[in-house]
Structure 1
């Protein structure tokens, strides 16, 4: 099948699952929650590197074919869609590789104020008070301060994705990159989806934003975090106060660099 690949990346708790659920209403599209290919590509790149004593027998063209083969084989005949969106936070750190593997592919990076991302994760932790989460390696004795610190550090769920996003945003391969704000997707989904279609160069499709479905309850339960990928049937913004201590919330209040046009030297599209 002459299939096209695009990628959904960006920050956690920022609308990637919601975006995938909406896009998957289009019968020509396949989109879902984060999958394994980002990690497999990272591992294979390492195994094909100089640390492998047989790497002298491996050319860059062979590396390219092997990496591309991962996508072609993972999304086999059982995936009948013409356009596949693979979701993983790692893709923002892999723009040079994606450019060579899929020159026409687009990367949609979902973004949200970091304070509200931390707040959203903390809300899930408290909601599932009797189920330790895989997000924190099932540890049970930490505080909101330790959890926020763990999320925000360079290897954390939020910190890694944030650093990868900045790498993509300020790198040389931004022509096929778009940032989609969580606030836009939830408060004005019609405009957000129209912008996505325009960015992709795809013909418009009549999505039903009042009847969105996605179910990853089994995965979320196994991760000890029920509701992690829950999507409300009706898309809309919900106003509420933060449950974070003010000093934790304010620590990340100025991290939304994408809102400042002066910090966007390459003119990346931000919706």
Structure 2
């Protein structure tokens, strides 16, 4: 058991935008625990629902109990899972819970991985086409038909991409934006040796000299198999920029562009590390297999 001295930070942002890659890099540091999306976010949401006004449980709670229970939930989740003093918990929903994180852990930071939405959609579509012999759980049965229906489904406000994008925008313009760092996937893939030290600086952690960008290891085969999308969280050993042509039809690719609000910092106190935008459907990056 740990003594409660672990420090919490969070990884969030858009899907297929480098959060697994970032976690795989950070966990090379023996002081840092980082992984793919954990179950903590769902547990927190469930506890909040049970404790919210209108439930019988809420009637039994004293002032301050909700905060103590939620903070204990964070520490209990990682108790016995890791002894590393610095924990990065990953969940795309954390950007929509910035006031909660600020209240529970005032010194915590949120690293949000981003990518042009057109390339997010391209990456997800690529994963679907790698598994042509069955439907994936990313979509309901009625939305498996074409790339157009799949993209439209993903962008719904309560779907995989739309929900993450909305939560990120909320955090970007919210009161806790100064605790948010936007990290562009393309820049991380192109220049990890430049980007990673900036992340260390943001969280106030001394740089770790043992990072190896040619030997990165991470896979979650069982989780991906359960989703029906093999290789969704498999990281290539070497972090590098890999240009490619998009799989999306030109009109659909263009429709998904222009949603990268994080490139205009007016009205936001968020911290941003981004690459120059490219609207060319002939180029993109992919550090995930």
Paired position in structure 1 for 2:282: none
Paired position in structure 2 for 1:239: 243
Decide whether aligned partners of structure 1 residues 29 and 250 sit closer, same or farther in structure 2, where only a CA change above 3 A counts.
same
Matched, 1:97 2:111: no
Query: Which deviates further from its counterpart, 18-27 or 76-85?
Result: 76-85
CA distance in 1, matches of 2:234, 2:63: 40
Matched, 1:169 2:172: yes
Matched, 1:230 2:230: no
Contact 1:5–1:84 (Cα < 8 Å) also in 2: yes
CA distance in 2, matches of 1:38, 1:31: 15
Alignment of 1:139-218 (within 5 A): 141-206=144-209, 207-218=211-222
Matched, 1:75 2:81: no
Matched, 1:107 2:110: yes
Deviations 1:168-216 (A, max 9, x none): 0011111211000001110011111011100010000121011000020
Aligned residue pairs, count: 269
Query: Which deviates further from its counterpart, 74-83 or 180-189?
Result: 74-83
The alignment partner of 1:136 has SS state of coil
Deviations 1:36-68 (A, max 9, x none): 111111121111011203413323410011111
CA distance in 2, matches of 1:214, 1:135: 21
Decide whether aligned partners of structure 1 residues 94 and 140 sit closer, same or farther in structure 2, where only a CA change above 3 A counts.
closer
List gaps (5 residues or longer) in structure 2.
274-289
Paired position in structure 1 for 2:15: 12
Paired position in structure 2 for 1:265: 267
CA distance in 2, matches of 1:265, 1:99: 20
When the two chains are superposed, the root-mean-square deviation of aligned CA atoms in Å is: 1.3
Q: CA deviation at 1:258?
A: 1.0
> Under a length normalisation based on structure 1, what TM-score does the superposition of the two structures give?
0.96
